[in-house]
């Protein structure tokens, strides 16, 4: 409250309506308490005019992703924070996939649960693409893997996960971020004649 709330209030005062926060993936040398997603659930309803983009979707490398568990860590803890504070899909919290997808793309079952839970609890319009390619090099393998990825019908039926269609993938790959940052993709593409 002494730092975070005044920070958000100052951002609003300056006209900043999108705040990005690193959650999950505790960095060496940093206090892990600051990477916990619990505070997002508290502030999102307090500031409905501010969008919160949560890097890594609070994913933790040492947590195995499965069906939602309210006592779980990582993505489950992020989901619980939203549920506990009434933040519904389509509201002002976005789940970003940087490093999360990179770590899970070679573990299909965990990946299906992680993406399925994010779709179910945040909605297809509130998941944004990220690669953290500054650490991993070219993101082409991540892009190719996500294009080919799907959530099995069995898991959709068992857990209520939505299908990951090409239209939903297009939103995740960039249309959601374009909407978040007020970019008209068609108009912007028309400006890039030589790309």
Measured CA to CA, the distance from residue 21 to residue 96 in angstroms comes to 10
- Indicate the range of 29-33, 78-82, 160-164, 180-184 predicted with least confidence: 29-33
Predicted local distance difference test score (pLDDT) of residue 194:
67
**In the chain, pLDDT over 70 holds for what percent of residues?**
98
Q: How confident is the model at residue 11 (pLDDT cuts 50, 70, 90)?
A: very high
Predicted local distance difference test score (pLDDT) of residue 27:
82
- 41-94 pLDDT, tens digit per residue, is 999 999 999 999 999 999 999 999 999 999 999 999 999 999 999 999 999 999
Q: What is the mean pLDDT of the chain?
A: 95
Which two structure tokens, joined as six digits, stand for 121? 């609890």
Mean pLDDT of 89-102: 97
Whether the Cβ atoms of residue 78 and residue 58 lie closer than 8 Å to each other = yes
- 134-171 pLDDT, tens digit per residue, is 999 999 999 999 999 999 999 999 999 999 999 999 99
Mean pLDDT of 109-128: 98
Whether the per-residue pLDDT at 191 is higher than 80: the answer is: no
Predicted local distance difference test score (pLDDT) of residue 188:
75
- Indicate the range of 98-102, 105-109, 134-138 predicted with least confidence: 134-138
Whether the Cβ atoms of residue 58 and residue 74 lie closer than 8 Å to each other = yes
Whether the per-residue pLDDT at 127 is higher than 70: the answer is: yes
Whether the per-residue pLDDT at 195 is higher than 70: the answer is: no
- For the chain, give the secondary structure using H, E and C: CCCHHHHHHHHHHCCCCEEEEECCCCCCCCCHHHHCCHHHHHHHHHCCCCEEEEEHHHCCCCCCCCCCCCCCCCHHHHHHHHHHCCCCCCCCEEEECCCHHHHHCCCHHHHHHHHHHHHHHHCCCCEECCCCHHHHCCCHHHHHHHHHCCCCHHHHHHHCCCCCCHHHHHHHHHHHHHHHCCCCHHHHHHHCCCC
Whether the per-residue pLDDT at 9 is higher than 80: the answer is: yes
**In the chain, pLDDT over 90 holds for what percent of residues?**
88
User: How many whole angstroms from its chain centre is CA 195?
Assistant: 29
Measured CA to CA, the distance from residue 104 to residue 10 in angstroms comes to 36
- Checking 190-194 for CB contacts under 8 A at 24+ apart, the result is none
Mean pLDDT of 104-113: 97
């Amino acid at each position: 409250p002494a730092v975070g709330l005044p920070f958000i209030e100052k951002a609003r005062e300056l006209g900043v309506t999108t705040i990005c926060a690193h959650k999950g993936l505790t960095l060496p040398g940093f206090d892990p308490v600051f990477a916990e997603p619990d505070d997002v659930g508290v502030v999102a309803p307090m500031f409905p005019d501010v969008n919160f983009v949560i890097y890594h979707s609070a994913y933790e490398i040492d947590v195995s992703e499965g069906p939602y568990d309210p006592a779980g860590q990582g993505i489950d803890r992020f989901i619980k924070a939203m549920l506990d504070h009434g933040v519904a899909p389509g509201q002002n919290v976005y789940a970003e996939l940087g490093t999360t997808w990179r770590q899970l793309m070679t573990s299909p079952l965990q990946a299906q649960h992680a993406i399925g839970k994010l779709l179910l609890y945040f909605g297809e319009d509130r998941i944004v693409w990220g690669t953290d390619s500054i650490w991993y090099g070219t993101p082409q393998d991540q892009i190719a893997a996500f294009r080919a990825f799907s959530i099995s019908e069995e898991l959709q039926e068992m857990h209520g996960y939505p299908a990951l269609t090409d239209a939903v993938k297009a939103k995740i790959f960039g249309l959601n971020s374009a909407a978040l940052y007020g970019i008209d993709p068609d108009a912007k593409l028309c400006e890039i004649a030589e790309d």
